[in-house]
């Protein structure tokens, strides 16, 4: 899927994923199904397309960081094309980056990232992998508190004060639970009591595209 996301033949790099035609997305699904045994399930297909969109977005961001210099003229920007990107698609991508709407959105996103108060320490490791490793070490399915601690704290250290305070609050609440109580994922689990109500579409420490309703109904 990562290879497909970087292929201009299948995933046009200059188009936002929501602008890619459904016909092309169906072709992508068909191609993936020739390589992997995937069940005929709408939820699975939706996850696959979300994953592809996420990887295309990451690839476009990498290209922008490595090869795009907005201080240059548009003509010069188009000359800095990386070899792995088609010439026509690179030109369209540079034009897209120079649109005023994109510049405004980019600035807004940058400001929002600057306001981010919690930074995880898992790097490129997926939530699914973290869950499986925790499940093996704990001998049971991890709670969302377990997941949060694993993703935001390493060797007792966190990257931000906010994450440290959140973990401390979770531990305090856990100490007050009756002995033998299970912190089952739900709208009233320890994670929710500290972090608040889940927003629709949040990964909620489970993975890309997983919503609260997918976990507890």
Burial class (CB in 10 A: 0-12, 13-18, 19+), 164: middle
Look at 1-5, 106-110, 157-161, 185-189 and tell me which has the smallest mean pLDDT: 106-110
Q: Specify the higher pLDDT residue, 33 or 196.
A: 33
Indicate if the pLDDT at residue 201 is higher than 80: no
The closest alpha carbon to 145, from 180, 189, 211, belongs to: 189
pLDDT digits (tens, 9 = 90+) for 38-61: 888 888 888 889 889 989 999 999
pLDDT digits (tens, 9 = 90+) for 89-139: 999 999 999 998 888 888 877 776 666 667 777 877 888 888 899 999 999
Q: Name the helix (H) or strand (E) containing 2.
A: helix 2-5
**Six-digit token string for 125:** 């490791």
Distance CA 177, CA 112 (A): 36
Distance CA 81, CA 92 (A): 11
Q: What is the pLDDT of residue 89?
A: 94
Percent of all residues in the chain with a pLDDT value above 90, rounded to a whole number: 33
Q: Where do the structural domains in the chain lie, given as residue ranges?
A: 2-113, 127-216
Q: What is the pLDDT of residue 62?
A: 92
Distance CA 95, CA 62 (A): 17
The closest alpha carbon to 89, from 98, 101, 81, belongs to: 81
Q: Specify the higher pLDDT residue, 213 or 158.
A: 158
Indicate if the pLDDT at residue 180 is higher than 90: no
**Six-digit token string for 13:** 């790099």
Distance CA 164, CA 121 (A): 13
Q: What is the pLDDT of residue 210?
A: 66
Mean pLDDT across the chain, nearest whole number? 85
Indicate if the pLDDT at residue 158 is higher than 50: yes
Cβ neighbours for 52, distance < 8 A, ≥ 6 positions apart: 1, 4, 5, 11, 17, 25, 28
* pTM, to two decimals: 0.60
Residue pair 158/164 in contact by the 8 Å Cβ criterion: yes
């Amino acid at each position: 899927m990562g290879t497909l996301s970087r292929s201009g033949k299948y995933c046009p790099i200059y188009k936002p994923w929501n602008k890619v035609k459904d016909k092309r997305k169906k072709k992508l699904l068909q191609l993936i199904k020739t390589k992997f045994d995937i069940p005929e399930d709408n939820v699975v297909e939706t996850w696959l397309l979300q994953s592809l969109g996420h990887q295309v977005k990451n690839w476009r961001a990498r290209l922008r960081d490595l090869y795009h210099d907005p201080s240059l003229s548009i003509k010069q920007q188009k000359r800095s094309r990386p070899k792995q990107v088609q010439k026509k698609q690179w030109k369209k991508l540079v034009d897209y980056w120079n649109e005023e709407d994109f510049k405004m959105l980019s600035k807004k996103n940058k400001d929002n990232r600057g306001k981010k108060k919690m930074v995880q320490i898992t790097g490129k490791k997926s939530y699914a992998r973290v869950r499986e490793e925790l499940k093996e070490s704990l001998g049971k399915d991890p709670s969302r508190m377990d997941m949060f601690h694993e993703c935001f704290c390493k060797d007792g250290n966190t990257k931000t004060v906010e994450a440290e305070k959140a973990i401390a609050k979770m531990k305090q609440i856990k100490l007050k639970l009756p002995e033998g109580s299970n912190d089952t994922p739900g709208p009233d689990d320890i994670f929710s009591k500290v972090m608040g109500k889940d927003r629709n579409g949040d990964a909620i420490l489970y993975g890309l595209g997983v919503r609260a309703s997918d976990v507890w109904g």
